[in-house]
Structure 1
Amino acid sequence: MVSEGTVQKAMQIILFSGDARKNCMEALKAIEVSDFVLAKAKMQAANEQIVQAHRVQTDAISAETSGEAGEYSVLFAHAQDTLMTIYSEINIAKRMIQIFETYEERIQRLEKKMEGRENNE
């Protein structure tokens, strides 16, 4: 039987990670409408939440390496998998913000250039 402490740690990781995923998905929706300010704010929230999840994991691993009895738990393994999956999603979303901001800037420059040409005709 898995200890209550391990279950609580696993659930904390899953909850923090889930909240991070929610904010990450909201950031991606903001990118769809070119709202990069909102996207960055959502990513900041996602990052704060994933850091909290990572701290819980790190504390559990540190305790075990310091001599506390460790135990295998499918739930804790699932929590770690969830954490790492969402961490990867966050990294990709951060990069997507950069990519789409760059495209948005290029499009705006092209539109200004085209407006200048239309006005000269």
Structure 2
Amino acid sequence: MENDNNLEAAMGLIVNGGNAKSMAFEAIKAAKKGDFDLADEKLKESDKALSEAHNAQTDMLTKEAQGEHTEVSLLMVHAQDHMMNAITFRDLAGEVVDLYKKLDNK
């Protein structure tokens, strides 16, 4: 069973990754409506959540490099997967928002 630190780290990745993905999706919805200020704000919020998730991940990697090994569990795999999907979705959302901006300018 995972210790409390591993559980806290995994939940940090899941929560922040989920928040980042949600904000990125809200950015797309705002851009679709032509509200580009809101879209940009939501992308920034998404970036902030990803930064927090990245900090949790970096802390785990630092501990691993120092010899404090993290138990690889289904929860930890899920947390890492959640974060990577959020990063990919955020990148794509930025492109979609840019596309809506270009379409609006025509």
Per the normalisation by structure 1, the TM-score is 0.83
Q: In the alignment, which residue of structure 2 is the partner of 1:59?
A: 59
Deviations 1:17-52 (A, max 9, x none): 111122111111101111111000000000100111
Per the normalisation by structure 2, the TM-score is 0.94
Shift of 1:62: 1.5
Bigger RCO (CA 8 Å, 6+ sep): 2
Shift of 1:69: 2.7
Contact 2:32–2:100, Cα closer than 8 Å, also in 1 = no
Task: Return the alpha-carbon distance in structure 2 between the equivalents of residues 69 and 99 of structure 1.
Answer: 43
Task: Return the alpha-carbon distance in structure 1 between the equivalents of residues 26 and 69 of structure 2.
Answer: 39
Q: In the alignment, which residue of structure 1 is the partner of 2:75?
A: 75
Residue 27, structure 1, aligned to residue 27, structure 2: yes
Q: How many equivalent pairs are there?
A: 106
Q: Which consecutive unaligned segments of at least 5 residues does structure 1 have?
A: 107-121
Residue 2, structure 1, aligned to residue 2, structure 2: yes
Task: Return the alpha-carbon distance in structure 1 between the equivalents of residues 29 and 100 of structure 2.
Answer: 12
Task: Return the alpha-carbon distance in structure 2 between the equivalents of residues 36 and 69 of structure 1.
Answer: 44
Q: In the alignment, which residue of structure 1 is the partner of 2:36?
A: 36
Contact 2:23–2:46, Cα closer than 8 Å, also in 1 = yes
Q: In the alignment, which residue of structure 1 is the partner of 2:90?
A: 90
Task: Return the alpha-carbon distance in structure 1 between the equivalents of residues 86 and 65 of structure 2.
Answer: 25
Q: Hey, which bits of structure 1, 4+ residues long, moved more than 2 A?
A: none
Specify the structure having the higher radius of gyration (Cα).
1
Q: CA RMSD in A?
A: 1.0
Counterpart amino acid of residue 20 in structure 1: A
Task: Return the alpha-carbon distance in structure 2 between the equivalents of residues 96 and 47 of structure 1.
Answer: 16
Shift of 1:70: 2.6
